[in-house]
Amino acid sequence: MQAYQRDLIEFALARDVLRFGEFTLKSGRQSPYFFNTGLFNTGEALQRLGAAYARCAVESAPPFDMLFGPAYKGIPLISATAMALSLDHGMDCPWAFNRKEAKDHGEGGRVVGAPLSGRVLVVDDVISAGTSVAESVALIESAGARLAGVLVALDRQEKGQGERSATQDVAELHGVPVTAILTLETLMDYLEKQHGGADPRLAAMRRYQARYGV
């Protein structure tokens, strides 16, 4: 685990973005943890999250020419990431996002921001069913650009409808890597290093991993 990942976990804990307990997911599963990026809802929080995205993009994502954020959660994420890429890494990276509905006046169209071109990195919070990625790919390819990869805050590393995770499904379907700042393994590693193997939260996560992990 790198220092920026540990710092993000600790900040997420302080902001209640990352919580431990019993949570019912959309799938109906009872999860021992919950990660809600929507609670990164202040200027400082968004700045720190954007810095983590930018660091992960530079160090771990495939080469890219611009960022794309699926509406709606992806919009502040690409904004914060683009600013952090400029401030922290000297990269003046173009960015764009989609509208939910096409605009038939003014500049019109479905895409706002820089024209889609070259290698496009999609930035989102998590991947569930992969629907937003598929919609993003359609827009990117229709503009003559190509998908470079997908960058998310957290990969839960658990089975979807079959034996693979949603991130594995997306990676195979679109032929690109899905990069995550944090994963289930990262969270478990943090708990073990900070609190030891006897931590009841870690034990609960291990049971969950054994049942649903990939």
Q: Which residues pair with 16 in a beta bridge?
A: none
Active-site residue flag, 159: no
Q: Which of 103, 174, 193, 195 is catalytic?
A: 103
Q: Which of 73, 89, 100, 105 is catalytic?
A: 105
What secondary structure does DSSP assign to 65-111, as a single string? SEEEE-TTTHHHHHHHHHHHHHHHH-----EEEEEEEEE-STT-EEE
Report the C-alpha gap between 14 and 48 in whole angstroms. 13
Active-site residue flag, 103: yes
End-to-end CA distance of the chain: 20
Identity of the amino acid at 31: S
Identity of the amino acid at 154: L
What secondary structure does DSSP assign to 142-185, as a single string? HTT-EEEEEEEEEE--BB-SSSSBHHHHHHHHHTS-EEEEEEHH
Which are the catalytic amino acids? 103, 105
